[in-house]
Structure 1
Amino acid sequence: METSVPFDTTAELLIYAFVSLAMLCIGMNASLRDFGVLLLDHGRTARTLVANIVIPPIVAFLLISLLPMNETSAAVLFLLAFAPGGINALQFSTKAPGQMALAGELLFLLSLLGLITAPVAAQVILASEARAGVPGGELMLRAIGLVAVPLAIGAAIRLRASNLAETLYKPAMLVSTLSFVAAVLLSLSVRQDALATIEPATLVAMTVFILALMAAGWVLGGPNPKQRQVLAAATNLRNVGLVYVLVDGCCEGGGHSVVVLAFIALMVPANLLFTAICAKLSRR
């Protein structure tokens, strides 16, 4: 298993650039005190955990029970339910004005939780012969390198040279955004091919799953509409890279990987539309 994302090397590098630079920008824009205040808000933390840890498995269980899905699709949907902390959430959660610190804190918290819950769930959900292929060490190294280290560097720049942080922020965020757009365009054909092979019941289940988690995040986001937007994006954008790593190369036939690709194909446009609607309502 050479990659943690289901695309070619160029798209993989662009995704890494997007995540690293976005975390760097969060570190340069939000102080450690901001993160501390957010983490100490026990009510917000509790609502975040309910939205991301409690509700998704319940929704997945209900969908699997009600819709005629095959075992492969059901297994992937359950794994997604136990995999919060999707890195793609940064591209959408950071679009809520003034909520950069919250977006970064949620990604960091949920990514750490996902590294625990998803591999544990995989040991139960995946077939016994596939469990040995779950690469726990690789997952931890990628999380540290792509999330924790850039965030710490950004915070250090802000602390030691605030003027430099202000100078670097906009160009770094621009490159991060362009990297994400380029990665989406390069991987478009791969995602469309996967989408065409999935049975209608699974497509319906994944669409309902995305919208249900988006609604859960919005409802539990608190009274501030911008904070609701952040939690709605962070909740429904599951950690597809993590799930792909869990199933790629350890499940025969590649069927699990195709279902993950199809989920990505539905997840991105749904959040583009959601973010556009929020931006329009905010301007009003």
Structure 2
Amino acid sequence: MNLTQLILLALKVSIVLAVFALGLGARLKDITYLFRHPRQLVRSLLSMYIIMPLVVGAIVAAFNLYPAVEIALIALSLSPIPPILPKKQLKAGGEEDYTFGLLVAMSLLAIVFAPLMIKLLDRAFGRTDKIPPVVVAQIVLSTVLVWLAIGITVRYLLPAFAQRIAKPISVVASVLMLVSLLPILFTARSAIASLIGNGTIIVIVVFVLIGLAAGHLLGGPNPHHRTVLALSTATRHPGVAIAIAHTNFPEQKLALAAILLYLLISGVVTIPYLKSRKSTVVI
């Protein structure tokens, strides 16, 4: 195993540990929340899998972007919530039932909606490629659903033990992720720099801001739900996005760099929103 493979393995392990830690603190009624509240489910689906792909279609039509950036935005608009996001949402005032429910529901729906929406958006490029649902399903299952279920099972069988180990595992996951991402970003720095210009940064900022606005407006009357849906709409699963980009556009080697650039920019752009929600939402 070379250094690159070791770094990628560490990144995958960090995601698994983060989801497992979330599962240790989740309840079954939390993860089924949206399926018991269909109106909120429809609003969430509209925000994440209808509005954002349409926004990307409009952006691609309006701007002469690098092909890798176009592909990255399309892939991101069709990806579910990253498994590390719920921790940030809860800190920002999100409620556990909707936060975990959205993670599970949107991950499941991605298996259906990603292939359907990509078929429509691909026509703008004169392509007929399809995303096999198994591509999305494998990533969602291996990084989210399975480990979330294991964590919930441990919580159910050994609640005291689950409560004791949840925080240490979460800390280890965060440290491991940081250690893994830094070498990846350092290695890809030249590729990322090559994409800066031609409106790339402006477009990514617009994408994130529209995601925040759409989620906030469609989150409903509950301010906690607004916060969670806003962050979820603006921030997507990079693993699924990379798989979508690689499966449909394997010749675009810079798509990974574009997704990494999006992660950096979205992290900065969402800071003011997070601060504003912490000051206005009573936890």
Please give the TM-score of this superposition, normalised by the length of structure 2.
0.82
Aligned partner letter, 2:106: L
What is residue 264 of structure 1 aligned with on the other side? 263
Matched residues in 2 for 1:122 and 1:190: separation?
30
Instruction: Give 1:109's aligned residue.
Output: 105
In the alignment, which residue of structure 2 is the partner of 1:251?
A: 250
Q: Does 1:235 align with 2:233?
A: yes
CA distance in 1, matches of 2:190, 2:94: 38
Identity of aligned residues (%): 23
Structure 1 pair 200–51 and aligned structure 2 pair: CA distance change class (3 A): same
Q: Per-residue deviation at 1:11?
A: 4.0
Q: 2:30·2:100 contact (CA, 8 Å) conserved in 1? A: no
The answer as to whether partners of 2:94 and 2:228 remain within 8 angstroms in 1 is no
The answer to whether 1:28 aligns with 2:24 is yes
CA, structure 1 residues 201+28, in 2 after alignment: closer, same or farther (shift >3 Å)? Answer: same
Distance 1:176 1:278, change over 3 A: farther
Contact 2:211 2:233 in 1 (8 A): yes
Change (3 A) 1:16 1:150: same
For 2:94 and 2:25, locate their aligned partners in 1 and report how far apart those are by CA, in whole Å.
10
Which residues of structure 1 form unaligned runs of 5+? Answer: 1-6
Q: Residue in 1 aligned with 2:222?
A: 224
Match of 2:167 among 155, 162, 170: 170
- Asked if structure 2 preserves the Cα contact closer than 8 Å seen for 1:69 and 1:201, the reply is yes
Q: 1:59 to 1:257 in 2, by over 3 A?
A: same
AA of the residue aligned to 1:237: T
Q: Map 1:1-284; keep pairs closer than 5 Å.
A: 8-97=4-93, 99-123=95-119, 125=122, 131=129, 136-190=133-187, 192-198=189-195, 199-248=197-246, 250-282=249-281
1:3 counterpart residue number: none
Conservation of the 8 A alpha-carbon contact between 1:218 and 1:229: yes
Count of matched residue pairs = 278
TM-score (norm 1): 0.82
Contact 1:24 1:150 in 2 (8 A): yes
Unaligned runs of 5+ in 2: none
Query: 2:212, 2:162 → 1: CA distance?
Result: 33
